[in-house]
Amino acid sequence: MNAPLFDVSVIIVNYKTAELTVQCINSIYENTEDISFEIIVVDNASDDGSVSIVKSKFSEVVVIENKVNLGFGKANNVGIDIAKGRNIFFLNSDTYLINNALKILSDFLDSHPEVGACGGNLYNANMQPVYSYSRVFPNCFSMLNDLFLGIPFKLLYGKNEHFNYTGKLMEVKSISGADLMIPARIINKTGCFDPNYFMYCEETDLQCRISQASYKIISMPEAEIVHLESASYRHNLTKMAHILSSRRYFILKNYSRLNYYISNFLFFIIAILASLKNVLKVDFAAAKENYRVVKLFSGLIFPSLMNHKKQNTD
C-alpha cells in the first residue's frame, strides 16, 4: 500500500451497475466536504459499458478493469493495492451518501486509534432502516436464532439488533460491507480480504481478524447512507449458493468442526421447515424454491469444503 496522499480512498466494486455506480459517485462529490479523498472504481469485467460511462463522466476517478469477475473481496484487494488514502472506505455501487459520511467516519477513526473499523446507518430508498451491522459472527448460535425466528436475538438486543436506533456509538461484531471504513494501517497489520471468498462474509472475516487483533468495530449512526440492497445482484439461487458457501467456509475457518456440523444441521432443518410452511400455505412456487436451496446446499456439503479447508492450511 502506498504512502497516504488522501484522507480517504473510496473503493467501489462495480459489476454491470453503471447507473448505480454513477449515482454513488455523484453522491460522494455532492455530500463530501472538508476532507481529501480519491475514488477508485474496480470493474469486474462488466459488459454493460460501465467502464466507458464512468470514465466519460468522471475523469478524475481511477478505474481498474479486471479481465474476469473476481468477486467482491478480490476486487477490493486490487483497489487496496493502489489506494493512497489514510483510511479505506469500501462502498457498494448500490449505495449513495445522504450526508458527509466520509468525513464523519474518517475523523472518528483518526481520533480513536483503538477502533479498527466503522460504518454508518443504512436506509432503503424510502429512508426505512435496513441491515447495517451484525451483533454476532455467523455460527451455530446465529443459526439457532434463525431456527427460532430471530426471537432470541430480539430479546438480547431489542430493535438495535441490526440498526443503530440509539443515536450513540455502539460496539458491534461486524459492519455491513456496503459502507465499511478501515484505517490503512490496520489492513497492513491484519491483511486484506481472504481471496477464498467470492462474495459474502469476506468483510465479516476481515473484521473477525481485526477483532482478534484487539481493535473495536463501531457503528456510527451519525453517518447516513442509502443502500439499495441486492440491486446489483438479483439471481436468487446463485446468490444463495454464494451465501451458503461463504458462511460455511467462515464457520469452518474460525470455529470448531463441531460448530460447523451443528450449523449445517440447523440450516437443513430451517430450509426444510420453510419448504413445509410454504406447502401448507399452498405456495408451491416458494416451496419449490426452498427445495432447490436444500438441494443446492447438499451439493456443496462436507467433502468439498473439507478439501477447501485442507488446501488453505497446507
3-state per-residue secondary structure call for 116-134:
EEEEEEEECCCCCECCCEE
Mean predicted lDDT score pLDDT of the chain: 86
Range with lowest mean pLDDT among 134-143, 160-169, 178-187: 134-143
| DSSP designation for 1 | -
For the chain, percent of residues with pLDDT exceeding 70: 82
The fourth-level CATH superfamily of domain 6-227 is Spore Coat Polysaccharide Biosynthesis Protein SpsA; Chain A (3.90.550.10)
CB-based burial label for 95 (10 Å; 0-12, 13-18, 19+): buried
pLDDT in tens, 260-307: 888 878 877 777 776 676 566 666 666 666 666 666 555 544 444 444
Q: Are 173 and 207 in contact (CB under 8 A)?
A: yes
Q: What is the pTM of this model?
A: 0.84
Q: Where are the domains of the chain?
A: 6-227, 236-307
- Phi, psi (deg, nearest 5) at residue 175: -85, 145
Quickly count: other Cβ atoms within 10 Å of residue 36's Cβ: 15
Residue 248 pLDDT exceeds 90: no
- At residue 16, the pLDDT reads 92
The predicted pLDDT at position 140 comes to: 86
Q: Which of 192-196, 254-258, 285-289 has the lowest mean pLDDT?
A: 285-289
Mean pLDDT of 191-198: 89
**CA–CA dist 51, 29 (Å, integer):** 19
